[in-house]
């Protein structure tokens, strides 16, 4: 049974496969089946509901556009940027509890605020977090570790919120909060490690100088030394896997293929050796292995080994079979191999599973089907993509490039009629 005030309205979420899979984002309902990032919400809720239990802190965060795409599929009432904006008759008991505690936010302890903030972050409520957590909170020197954790959570929310508008690879204004935590020796160990890893990885992705990366790699080594002997063996090993995965960027930037492979081998071994003992640990294990395999797939592409990239991408879909992004990545590898049929099938799976990669999957499946000579099937997918994303350029151009057939000419006429300049 659904925990709903009005089951008829809530059951509408079950009418679409994607909203059924991703339901925790929409009503905090338990995740029966779905991607790891959706299961993280359940673990985050349990960690919030039990203030004496362990904190649950997932690695993965989704773009703000994810909630927008999901709301388009769930219906306009679910297009909210604050849980309190959801209509009363659509709220579950969990959602009501969440709204109630948001009203009490100023009175909550910093530890309670942090658990709530982590849950909101998992649900992609980044703009709300920027309003709840003051920008000028003290840094790592505060005696309460939850303060530094909240500062990090706000920094992460700002990074994700600004993602669609980022103008360059590394914006100092956005990254300053992470840097402040990373350089403060008084910062809480795990928070400092996470902040340092964030700075190092983002600098590497922005192609900072080798000297700058070398400096930040040393900072990351120091931050890792402070957490590698965590009393929780699972957490310590998780930190180690993440450390080696991050450090893999240094030899890559230096062009040292052998050292990069050895470093990533260590990250993968640590990831596979993790021994989860709880449901929450199992989620973190899968999430971390997913991240490692995703990095190793990109590594294989960098090494120009498409067969190895395909093997790793296939395993990625086995680790998290309901993640549409994983299926798009597998489709991209087979697309590069010009294996149009397999790529089309994998892109279709991504389209079926819903956000965050369903739109890309739908469009790319159409591209592959055109290469297979299946123009009518391709036309249907381009039409669907255009209807979901009316300002999209690529799908519209694909429609214009379809063969000169009367019914397809009418589709082209429609595509021209709704161009908005």
* Residue 170, pLDDT score: 84
Plot region of 184 (φ>0 → left; ψ -120 to 50 → alpha; else → beta) = beta
| Nearby residues of 32 by Cβ (< 8 Å), 6 or more positions away | none
Which of 230, 184, 201 is closest to 55 using CA atoms?
Answer: 230
| DSSP class of 323 | -
CB contact at 8 A, 149 and 191: yes
* Residue 260, pLDDT score: 97
pLDDT digits (tens, 9 = 90+) for 357-389: 999 999 999 999 999 999 999 999 999 889 888
Q: Count the neighbouring beta carbons within 10 Å of the beta carbon of residue 117.
A: 26
User: What mean pLDDT do residues 30-36 have?
Assistant: 89
| CA gap 59, 40 in Å, rounded | 10
| CA gap 80, 161 in Å, rounded | 15
Please state whether the predicted TM-score (pTM) of the whole model is above 0.85. Answer: yes
| CA gap 246, 154 in Å, rounded | 22
| CA gap 158, 137 in Å, rounded | 14
Range from 167-171, 309-313, 408-412 carrying the lowest mean pLDDT: 167-171
Q: Count the neighbouring beta carbons within 10 Å of the beta carbon of residue 393.
A: 9
Which of 266, 356, 265 is closest to 61 using CA atoms?
Answer: 356
User: What mean pLDDT do residues 328-332 have?
Assistant: 98
Output the six-digit token pair for 221: 């080594």
* Residue 350, pLDDT score: 97
Higher-scoring residue by pLDDT: 144, 293: 293
* Residue 11, pLDDT score: 63
Residue 420: strand, helix, or coil: coil
User: What mean pLDDT do residues 342-367 have?
Assistant: 96
CB contact at 8 A, 179 and 166: no
pLDDT digits (tens, 9 = 90+) for 58-102: 999 999 999 999 999 999 999 999 999 999 999 999 999 999 999
* Residue 421, pLDDT score: 57
pLDDT digits (tens, 9 = 90+) for 277-303: 999 999 999 999 999 999 999 999 999
* Alpha-carbon 130 to chain mean position: 19
Q: Count the neighbouring beta carbons within 10 Å of the beta carbon of residue 106.
A: 7
| CA gap 164, 174 in Å, rounded | 13
pLDDT digits (tens, 9 = 90+) for 35-47: 999 999 999 999 9
* Residue 5, pLDDT score: 45
DSSP 112-157: HHHHHHHHHHHTT-HHHHHHHS-TT---TTSS-HHHHHHHHHHHHH
CB contact at 8 A, 299 and 264: yes
pLDDT at 2 over 70: no
pLDDT digits (tens, 9 = 90+) for 223-244: 999 999 988 899 999 999 999 9
Output the six-digit token pair for 330: 């597998």
Which of 106, 59, 81 is closest to 161 using CA atoms?
Answer: 81
| DSSP class of 34 | -
Q: Is 215 exposed, middle or buried (0-12, 13-18, 19+ CB in 10 A)?
A: middle
* Residue 145, pLDDT score: 80
CB contact at 8 A, 98 and 83: yes
Q: Percent of the chain having pLDDT more than 70?
A: 95
CB contact at 8 A, 95 and 41: no
| CA gap 242, 196 in Å, rounded | 12
In sign, the C-alpha dihedral spanning 103, 104, 110, 115 is negative
CB contact at 8 A, 297 and 310: no
Confidence of residue 15 (pLDDT cuts 50, 70, 90): confident
CB contact at 8 A, 163 and 68: no
């Amino acid at each position: 049974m659904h925990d709903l005030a009005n089951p008829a309205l809530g059951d509408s979420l079950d009418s679409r496969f994607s909203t059924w899979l991703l339901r925790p984002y929409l009503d905090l309902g338990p995740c029966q089946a779905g991607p790891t990032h959706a299961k993280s919400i359940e673990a985050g809720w349990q960690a919030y509901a039990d203030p004496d239990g362990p904190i649950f802190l997932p690695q993965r965060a989704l773009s703000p556009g994810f909630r927008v795409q999901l709301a388009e599929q769930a219906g306009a009432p679910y297009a909210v940027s604050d849980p309190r904006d959801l209509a009363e008759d659509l709220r579950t008991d969990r959602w009501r509890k969440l709204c109630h505690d948001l009203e009490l936010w100023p009175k909550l302890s910093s530890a309670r605020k942090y658990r709530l903030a982590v849950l909101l972050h998992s649900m992609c409520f980044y703009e709300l977090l920027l309003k709840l957590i003051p920008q000028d909170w003290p840094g790592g020197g505060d005696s309460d570790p939850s303060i530094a954790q909240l500062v990090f959570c706000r920094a992460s929310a700002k990074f994700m919120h600004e993602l669609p508008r980022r103008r360059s690879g590394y914006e100092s204004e956005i990254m300053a909060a992470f840097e402040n935590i990373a350089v403060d020796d008084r910062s809480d160990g795990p928070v400092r490690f996470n902040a340092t890893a964030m700075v190092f990885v983002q600098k590497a992705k922005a192609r900072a100088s080798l000297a700058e990366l070398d400096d930040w790699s040393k900072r990351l080594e120091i931050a890792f030394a402070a957490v590698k002997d965590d009393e929780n063996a699972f957490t310590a090993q998780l930190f180690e896997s993440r450390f080696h995965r991050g450090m893999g960027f240094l030899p890559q930037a230096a062009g040292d293929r052998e050292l990069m492979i050895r470093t990533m081998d260590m990250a993968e071994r640590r990831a596979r050796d993790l021994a989860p003992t709880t449901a929450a640990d199992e989620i973190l294990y899968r999430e971390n292995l997913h991240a490692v395999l995703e990095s190793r797939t990109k590594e294989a592409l960098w090494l120009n080994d498409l067969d190895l990239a395909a093997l790793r991408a296939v395993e990625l879909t086995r680790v998290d079979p309901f993640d549409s992004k994983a299926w798009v990545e597998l489709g991209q590898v087979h697309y590069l191999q010009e294996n149009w049929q397999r790529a089309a099938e994998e892109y279709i799976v991504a389209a079926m599973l819903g956000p965050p990669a369903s739109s890309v999957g739908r469009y790319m499946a159409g591209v592959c089907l055109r290469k297979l000579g299946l123009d009518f099937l391709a036309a249907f997918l381009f039409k669907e993509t255009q209807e979901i994303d009316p300002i999209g350029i690529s799908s519209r151009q694909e429609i214009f490039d379809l063969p000169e057939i009367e019914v397809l000419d009418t589709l082209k006429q429609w595509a021209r009629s709704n161009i908005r300049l």
